[in-house]
Structure 1
Amino acid sequence: MAEQAAGVPQSERAASSSAGAAPAKHPSGAAPVSARDWRLDFWRGLAIVFIFWNHTVDNVMSWLTTKNFGVSDSAELFVFLSGFAMASMFTGKFLDRPIMAIPYGVQRAFSLYLHHITAFVVIATLAVLYREYAGSSVMERDLFVRPFLVATETVLPKLATLGYLPPLLDILPLYIILTLMIGVLFAAFRDRWAFYVGFAVVVWSWAQISGATLSSYPDTRLWTFNPFAWQAVFLSGFAAFLARGEAWFRDLMAAPATIALSITIVIVAFIAAAPWATLGLYEWRPLRIITDIADKANASPVRLAHFLAMAHLASLFVRRESRLGSTFLGRSMVLIGRQSLPLFVLSTVFAAASHGVFDWFGHGAAVQIAFSLGGAAILIALAFATEELRTTKRVSPPRPSAPRPEPAAAKPQTPTATAPSAVPEAR
C-alpha cells in the first residue's frame, strides 16, 4: 500500500546541492531539507515486489522475501517507509503552514479511496470473467467476491464505507485512515518528533488493552491490519525522518552497542522463524514462542523491533553513495518506488489473478516462477515508461515567422490638387 511521496521543492534542492553552500536550517530548527534519497524509493519498490510475491497464492518466489527469515515482513517495510516519505513531503511543503496538511490529507485519502474501489472492481470483474470462461468459481471463492455478487444490496454500502475488505484489499484502507490522521497530527505537532512517538505509544497501548479494532463484512471478520495498532509503525517512520538530523540520533545509530543489538535481534528472529521447518525439521524450533507472540494484526512490538533492526543494518550497509542505485536492479526498484500507488494497485490485481492462472495452468514451480517474474517485469517496464513520459520535454515545433514585407520601391512624389504646397507661392 501504498502513497507516492512528493519531492522537495526544486528551489530547495538546488540550494542544498550548491557547491560549497551550507544547507540552510529552517527557522523552526528542523533539520535542513536535502535532496531525495534514492534508497527510500528503492526499498519501497522492493517492498511492492515482495508484497506481490507474498500475496500470490502459495508462491515459491516468496522464499526470496523477508517473511520466511524473521518475524516481520514487507508490510512493516511498506508502512514504515510511507510514514518516512510523508514526513519528507510534509516538512518540505507544510512546515510554514501546517494547517494545510489537513486538506492535503483529505485529498490524498480520497485518491487512495478511488484506487481501492477501482482495484476491487477490476478484481471482481476478473473473477466473473474467469468463471464464465473456465467454468470455475475459484477466484470468486478465494478472493471473497461471491458475497458481493450474491447480496449486492447488502455488501455495496459496506464496500463504499470500507466495511467490506476482501483478501488482498486491506492495505489501502489502512493507509486511508493513516493519511487522514497524519494531516491532523501535523497541524498540531508540526516537526516535533517526540509528540508523534508519544501519540503512537498511547494509542497502541490503548488498542492492546481494550482490544479496539475495526470489523469487516461479515461482522465476525476483523481488519487484517488494526489501524489503532499499525499507526505506530507509520508514525515510527514519520518520527524517524524528523529526528534523523539530530546529533543524538546519529550517534545512536552509529554506536557499536546499537549495531550489535540490531545484529542480535536479526539472528534471534531468524532462529525463531526457523525456515528449515519446511524441510521437515519441525521439532527443531527452539524459539517458536517468539513467533507465537508476533501478532501481525495488532502490530506486535516484536515485529516492529525486528523490522527496525533490519532497517538500521540496511542503512549502514547500503549507503547513499552506493553503486547499487545505478544498477539495473536498483534503478528498477527506484522507479517502481516513485510510482508506488498505481503500481502497488496493479501488483494487487496481479496477485488476485494468480488464483485463476494457477487453477488453469497448474501450481507447478515453473508456473509460479514464470508468473512472478513476468508480473515483476511488467511492473518494471511500466515504471520505466512512466519515468520516460515524465522526463520527456514536450518541445513544440517552432512557429513559422511571418514573412517580412519587402521594402516598397521609391515613388516620385507627385503633388496632388488637395495637398498644400510646402513652399510659399512666389508672387
Structure 2
Amino acid sequence: MNALASPARDARLDALRGWLQVTIFISHISGSVAAAWMIHPAWGLSDSSEQFVFLSGFGLGSVFLWKQARHGFAQACRDLATRMARLWRMHMLVFISFGLMVALASTRFDVEVWPHAIKRPWEALLGGAVLLCQPPFMGILPVFLMAMAVLPVFSWLAARHGARALWLPAAMYVAAQFLPADWPGLGGTTLAFSPPAWVALFLLGAWFGRQALRHGRAVRFHPALLAAALAILGLGLWMRVTDRLPLVLTGKEQLAPLRLLHAVALAWLVAALVPIGVGWARGRLGRVLGAIGRQSLPVFSLGLFLSYLASLALAEMPGAQPWLEPLLLASGTLVLAGFAARLDRRARPAAAPSATVAGR
C-alpha cells in the first residue's frame, strides 16, 4: 500500500470539471434559452450535478487512499476533516452572502426567493449552519459535507473487504428509492437532494477513484458496455424529446434509477473513450476549462451569484432577451474564467496532492 503513487492531476478531468461549472452557471439562469436548449442536460435524463458529485468522490477517494497509505488512517481522517471545515466555511459564506443579496433584491424587485430566511434570518442562519435549511441554490454543498463525513467509513470497509464495501452505497441508494424524495428541512424548506441517494453516488465515485490510483485506470473499454451506454443515452434523448419523464424513474431529488444510469453511462463513455493525455485538454480552451475545474468550489459559488443576477436581468427586461442573454452568458463565463485563472496562478506553487470536492 505504501507504494502507491501520489494522485496526479488529470488535465482531461480538470477540463471536464470546468465544463460542468460553465453548464451549472448557465442552467441556474431562469428563463434562459441556452439552459433549455444548448447544454447537454437539455437532451438527457441527468445534468451536471451528478457528474459534479461523482467526480468529487472520485478525487477524494483517491486522495484519502493515498493519505492513508502514506500517513495512516488517522492522518487521512484529519486531512479530510480540514477539507470539510474549509468547505463548511465556504458554504456559510455563500449562504449568508446570497441571503443578503436576495434580501436586497426583494426590496427592489418583485421577487421572494427566500421568504422564511428574510422573515426569520437568525433561525435560517442556524439551519444553514447545521445543513438543514436549504433555500433555493443552497442544496449541493451540504451534500458534499454529508458525503465526506461517510467517506472514512466507506474507505475503512473498502480496505478490509474490497468490492464488498459497495454494499454500503448500494443499500443507501435502494433505501432512498423507498423513502420520500423530499426530506423535510427547517423553516418549511426541504433538502434539495435525498442524502442517501446522492451520498451513494459520491461513494461510487470514491470507489473508482481508489481503483484509478491502484491500477492506473478506473474502467476499461468493452464493446458491450459501449453499446449499453449508447442505448441508455438514446433512451434518455427519446424520453426528453417526447417529455416522458416519470419522476419514479427520472426524479432528481432521489436520483431515480434511469437518471443514475444515464449519469453513469456518460461518465463511463468519457472515461473509456477519452484518453488521459488527450491533446485538446492541454490546448488553449482546455487550459481555460482546466483552471475553472481546479477551482471548482469558488467558481461554483461565484456562479450562483452571477446566475441569480442574470435571472433578475432577464425577468426585468424580457423584451431584450435576444441580445441580453448572449451578453450575460458571455460576460458571466469570462468573469468565471478570469476568476479561476487568478486563483489558479496563486495556488500553482502548492503542488501537494489535492482533490476536487466542489473545488480543491
TM-score range, shorter chain: 0.7 to 0.9
Tell me which amino acid in the other structure corresponds to 1:127: V
Which has the larger Rg? 1
Structure 2: state its 5+ residue gaps. Answer: 351-360
Two-structure CA RMSD over aligned residues (Å): 2.6
Name the one with the larger helix percent.
2
Q: Distance in 1 between matches of 2:13 and 2:326?
A: 27
- After superposition, the Cα gap between the structure-2 partners of 1:193 and 1:377, relative to the gap in structure 1 and judged at 3 Å, is farther
Tell me which amino acid in the other structure corresponds to 1:47: L
- After superposition, the Cα gap between the structure-2 partners of 1:387 and 1:105, relative to the gap in structure 1 and judged at 3 Å, is closer
Aligned pair 1:366/2:323, yes or no?
Answer: yes
Q: Distance in 2 between matches of 1:147 and 1:210?
A: 26
Aligned pair 1:125/2:93, yes or no?
Answer: no
Q: Which shows bigger deviation, 106-115 or 354-363?
A: 354-363
1:13-412 equivalence runs, <5 A: 26-27=1-2, 33=6, 35-62=8-35, 63-96=37-70, 97-132=72-107, 135-138=108-111, 141=112, 143-144=113-114, 146-190=115-159, 193-211=162-180, 214-219=183-188, 221-244=189-212, 253-274=220-241, 285=242, 288=244, 293-362=249-318, 364-391=321-348
Aligned sequence identity (%): 25
3-state SS of the aligned residue for 1:199? helix
TM-fit CA distance, 1:260? 1.3
3-state SS of the aligned residue for 2:12? helix
Is the Cα–Cα contact under 8 Å of residues 32 and 325 in structure 2 kept in the other structure? Answer: yes
TM-fit CA distance, 1:222? 2.3
- After superposition, the Cα gap between the structure-2 partners of 1:389 and 1:241, relative to the gap in structure 1 and judged at 3 Å, is closer
Cα shift readout 1:269-322 (whole Å, capped 9, x = no counterpart): 111111xxxxxxxxxx2x825666212111112112111211222224322222
Q: Distance in 2 between matches of 1:190 and 1:369?
A: 50
TM-fit CA distance, 1:392? 6.9
Q: Distance in 2 between matches of 1:210 and 1:387?
A: 41
Which aligned segments of 4 or more residues in structure 1 are displaced greater than 6 angstroms? none
TM-fit CA distance, 1:201? 0.5
Aligned length: 346
TM-fit CA distance, 1:147? 2.0
TM-score (norm 1): 0.74
Is the Cα–Cα contact under 8 Å of residues 207 and 213 in structure 1 kept in the other structure? Answer: no
Tell me which amino acid in the other structure corresponds to 1:152: P
TM-fit CA distance, 1:376? 1.0
Tell me which amino acid in the other structure corresponds to 1:317: L
Tell me which amino acid in the other structure corresponds to 2:286: G
| Larger RCO: 1 or 2 (CA < 8 Å, sep 6+) | 2
Tell me which amino acid in the other structure corresponds to 2:252: K
Is the Cα–Cα contact under 8 Å of residues 183 and 191 in structure 2 kept in the other structure? Answer: yes
Q: Which shows bigger deviation, 366-375 or 189-198?
A: 189-198
Aligned to 2:358: none
Q: Distance in 2 between matches of 1:289 and 1:53?
A: 22
Is the Cα–Cα contact under 8 Å of residues 72 and 303 in structure 1 kept in the other structure? Answer: yes
Tell me which amino acid in the other structure corresponds to 1:390: A
- After superposition, the Cα gap between the structure-2 partners of 1:46 and 1:119, relative to the gap in structure 1 and judged at 3 Å, is same
Is the Cα–Cα contact under 8 Å of residues 216 and 223 in structure 1 kept in the other structure? Answer: yes
Is the Cα–Cα contact under 8 Å of residues 58 and 206 in structure 2 kept in the other structure? Answer: yes
Q: Distance in 1 between matches of 2:346 and 2:73?
A: 32
Is the Cα–Cα contact under 8 Å of residues 333 and 380 in structure 1 kept in the other structure? Answer: yes
TM-score (norm 2): 0.87
Q: Distance in 1 between matches of 2:348 and 2:84?
A: 27
Structure 1: state its 5+ residue gaps. Answer: 1-25, 275-284, 394-427
Tell me which amino acid in the other structure corresponds to 2:222: A
Is the Cα–Cα contact under 8 Å of residues 41 and 335 in structure 1 kept in the other structure? Answer: yes
